[in-house]
Structure 1
Amino acid sequence: MRLKRTINRPLIIDGWDFSPEQLLSPGDVADMFRVGPKTVARWADDGKLACVRTLGGVRRFSRQQVESFLSDGA
């Protein structure tokens, strides 16, 4: 069986990079903001943080967006 070679391109959603190598788990984001993972989930539900979901339904966040929020003090 021959596998197809894919070209890795950035996945940009609403201006944020959601490429696989740029994704953070809710726990990672929670650690960065010093809050609990449930708070991060609430921020996503409220639209404060954009997220994508894995096939298993787990949220993943854009490192670029999270770091932007941290540096802006949001």
Structure 2
Amino acid sequence: MWQAWEHLGLDGATGMVVSWKDHADHHVSVLLDPRGPFYKCGMQKDRDPDHLEPKKAPDGWFRNALHQ
């Protein structure tokens, strides 16, 4: 989905419309479905995001990225 977003974003005419219509609309509804892959995720009141340490992606993780 991200690669489609990056690729279609280069098309100044209809790229974003195609990205939203053909990719985001379908995938987001599946991802956010009440029984979809994130159904157990939610706002946890005891979670402190200030203590989460971001980690660098491993080498080669984005080997197919368009903007390297």
Q: Same fold judged by TM-score > 0.5?
A: no
Larger-gyration structure (1/2): 2
Higher normalized strand content (fraction of residues) = 1
Structure 2 length normalisation: TM-score? 0.25
